Amino acid sequence: MFIIEVLKTILLGIVEGITEWLPVSSTGHMILLDEFINLDVTAEFKELFLVVVQLGAIAAVVIMYFSKLNPFSKKKDEDERRLTWSLWGKVIVGAVPAAIIGFLLDDILDEYLYNYVTVAITLIVYGVLFIVIEKLRSGKNYRVGEVDELTYKDALLIGCFQVLSLIPGTSRSGSTILGGMTLGVSRKASSEFSFFMAIPIMLGASLLKIAKFGYGYLTAENSELYIPEGASGEYIALLLIGMVISFVVSVAAIKFLMDFVKRHSFIPFGVYRIALGIVVIGYFVGVNYLV
């Protein structure tokens, strides 16, 4: 039966890799997918898996943009290194609001907002916002064309928009891209900055979830509520497989998005979000009615 769990993990990794970077909500898709493809693991491990599998997606950004993000590169002159350190400073500033709110409200968000109603509403609302903002920005020049042109004020304001991504279904990339475009930042620059801010945010969220899981496992009276006896090797394997698949698919998704925004608006993503939100409401209302 372990091979069945591996296949489920591969599918979850694919969905994570695609939806983490496209503005369609990875968390929302993972919650919905869990309704149909339920990993045969403990509830506590499943929560860990859904967060830690994002590490593969983070690795994709680091590797793809390593040259741009590396302030120690010998290929860069002094001015280029200074710009790289400045970029990292803006990334940290932008990550602070979501890091603080996420740390304080992590358990509350898990308990009250991780459900299909929240996901459906935010999918539709942000879908509408994408269409509206694209229509409002149509034909207008962007104040910021490249990510290096962002100011610290821009970074902080975009970071405040990122706080909204703590609500399932919102999309971390979606909220930051919308925030950037609202401030007059180009699609390309907004998308790239969204990628870079994901590094500390997603890494921090993963480490926090690992710490909570580890503490619970070590202090629980019944540790099998976390990892059943004799299953630790299989559980670790599922995590590693999910991260590897997420990494590979993330590389493709990032390349696709950066090519897409050069020629198209985000309106197709807005339409997709609205359609998916309606499908989600219809499905769960139908299921609850039949039950």
**Max intra-chain CA distance, the chain:** 66
Mean pLDDT throughout 152-173?
A: 92
Sign of CA dihedral 110, 61, 10, 277: positive
**Which has more confidence, 177 or 50?**
177
Per-residue confidence (pLDDT) for residue 57, from 0 to 100: 92
Q: Residue 67 and residue 16: Cα distance in Å, rounded?
A: 25
Residue 157: pLDDT over 90? yes
Question: Which stretch of 4-13, 51-60, 100-109, 160-169 has the lowest confidence by average pLDDT?
Answer: 100-109
Q: What percent of the chain has pLDDT over 70?
A: 100
Residue 291: pLDDT over 70? no
Question: Which stretch of 29-38, 233-242, 278-287 has the lowest confidence by average pLDDT?
Answer: 29-38
Q: Residue 198 and residue 94: Cα distance in Å, rounded?
A: 10
Confidence band, pLDDT 50/70/90 cuts, at residue 139:
confident
Alpha carbon 185 to chain centroid distance? 20
Domain that holds residue 134: 2-290
Of 235, 246, 286, which Cα lies nearest the Cα of 13?
Answer: 246
Cross-strand bridge partners of residue 224: none
Per-residue confidence (pLDDT) for residue 269, from 0 to 100: 95
Residue 113: pLDDT over 90? no
Residue 20: pLDDT over 80? yes
Q: What percent of the chain has pLDDT over 90?
A: 63
Tell me how many domains the chain contains: 1
Mean pLDDT throughout 118-137?
A: 93
Both structure tokens of 35: 């309704």
Q: Residue 231 and residue 214: Cα distance in Å, rounded?
A: 15
pTM of the entire predicted model: 0.87
What's the chain's average pLDDT?
Answer: 90
Confidence band, pLDDT 50/70/90 cuts, at residue 87:
very high
Mean pLDDT throughout 83-108?
A: 91
Could you give the dihedral angle defined by the CA atoms of residues 57, 168, 234 and 224, in that order, rounded to the nearest 10 degrees?
150
Residue 122: pLDDT over 70? yes
